Amino acid sequence: MNFYNHIIETIGNTPMVKLNKVIETKALILAKLESFNPGHSTKDRMALKMIEDAEKSGLLKKGGTVIEGTSGNTGMGLALACIQRGYKLICTISDKQSKEKMDILKAMGAEVYVCPTNVKPEHPESYYSVAKRLNKEIPNSFYPNQYDNLSNRLAHYESTGPEIWEQTDGKITHFVVGVGTGGTISGIAKYLKEKNPTIKIWGIDSYGSVYKKYHETGEFDENEIYSYITEGIGEDILPANVDFDLIDHFEKVTDKDGAIYARRLAKEEGIFAGYSCGSAIAGINQLKDNLNENDVLVVLLHDHGSRYVGKIFNDDWMKKQNFI
């Protein structure tokens, strides 16, 4: 008989699919579809790794409570691991995240605290601060802190990076992904550049985020920070997981372009992917003049479109934002 003992055993080994229409270029564009993970996002990989490493180090004990600040996808990955291992899960989430994400977390047994978006990270009501406070107040609790927990980066160095290298027979020339916590891009970039230092790593950023300017100037400019709609990429902090030395270029994408290209991915390629996936495709389109017919570009598509049906895949919402 051929079966898995638990759903978390199905994490990883996601497929790679050629994109044929959404980007006009002679280069080969391959999409790594992370929505094929059981929690429908790439965050399943690092969520499980953070739990496993915390158990090994004694930070997480039997009957414990896991508390994390999340844009939704990490929470889903943690929920899968917590169900399998018998932990309670509390997620703090910003109010700009889609209702679908919040409802999914609750469906998977998590307790959800919704926090305001338009406050500084150090504000007591930010989703970072609320998670830290709950961790102090609740006995036998563990705060993974995906932003600074290097198990996040290591998960992608150990699994996603090798998968991409093997799936392209080592012919990959460019890797593109949206940058949130920085764990995905940094772990994959470290592995790929160890295999071939000439591989170009392009990070996709949002307007309202500090990453691009910090990468180019070394300056953390608070004037770069303002509210934006795109979910899951960009930050108003500098997480320990971002290794800026491994990233060759940051490309900023507007909220509108991210939404438009996510919709195009669905209609033109049949790939129903999330908001930041559209941002990644838009970013490649902005950079495509740097590609030639011999290039093999891999773009990691973080998550599934089902989390955004009330937003970018809803015409009324798109019209309200003046996107269509």
Residue 147 forms part of a structural domain: no
Residue 197 forms part of a structural domain: yes
Same domain, 100 and 25: no
Q: Which residue range(s) make up the domain with 199? A: 7-36+160-320
Same domain, 110 and 196: no
Same domain, 12 and 51: no
Q: For residue 47, what is the domain's CATH number?
A: 3.40.50.1100
Other C-beta atoms lying within 10 Å of the C-beta of residue 268: 14
Q: Which residues contact 115 (CB under 8 A, 6 or more apart)?
A: 92, 93, 94, 95, 125, 126, 127, 130
Res 34 pLDDT > 80: yes
How far apart (Å, rounded) are the C-alpha atoms in residues 256 and 81?
34
Same domain, 50 and 30: no
Q: Per the structure, how many domains does the chain have? A: 2
pLDDT at 2: 96
CB 199 within 8 A of CB 175: yes
Q: Work out the pLDDT band at 208, boundaries 50, 70, 90.
A: very high
Domain boundary among 88, 114, 142: 142
pLDDT at 117: 86
Catalytic machinery residues: 43
CB 164 within 8 A of CB 218: no
pTM: 0.95
Domain boundary among 142, 172, 206: 142
- Residues above pLDDT 70, as percent of the chain: 100
pLDDT at 97: 84
pLDDT at 120: 86
Domain boundary among 114, 142, 170: 142
Same domain, 213 and 307: yes
Same domain, 62 and 122: yes
Residue 228 forms part of a structural domain: yes
Mode of pairing for the β-strands spanning 16-18 and 28-33: antiparallel
Same domain, 114 and 179: no
Residue 187 forms part of a structural domain: yes
Same domain, 238 and 305: yes
Q: Work out the pLDDT band at 316, boundaries 50, 70, 90.
A: very high
pLDDT at 66: 98
Same domain, 61 and 26: no
Res 96 pLDDT > 90: no
Same domain, 191 and 250: yes
What value does the mean pLDDT take over residues 158-173? 98
CA nearest to 273, candidates 31, 24, 3, 13: 31
Q: For the segment 1-10, what is each residue's pLDDT rounded down to a tens digit?
A: 999 999 999 9
For the chain, state the CA radius of gyration.
Answer: 19
Cα distances (angstroms) measured from residue 108 to each of 61, 81, 90, 135, 229: 21, 11, 11, 21, 25
Same domain, 22 and 47: no
Residue whose tokens read 């009501």: 125
pLDDT at 151: 98
Tell me which DSSP letter residue 303 carries.
Answer: B
Average pLDDT, the chain: 96
pLDDT at 99: 86
Same domain, 32 and 116: no
Cα distances (angstroms) measured from residue 231 to each of 1, 29, 83: 41, 24, 26
Res 101 pLDDT > 90: no
Element (H, E) at 151: helix 151-155
Q: For the segment 209-238, what is each residue's pLDDT rounded down to a tens digit?
A: 999 999 999 999 999 999 999 999 999 999
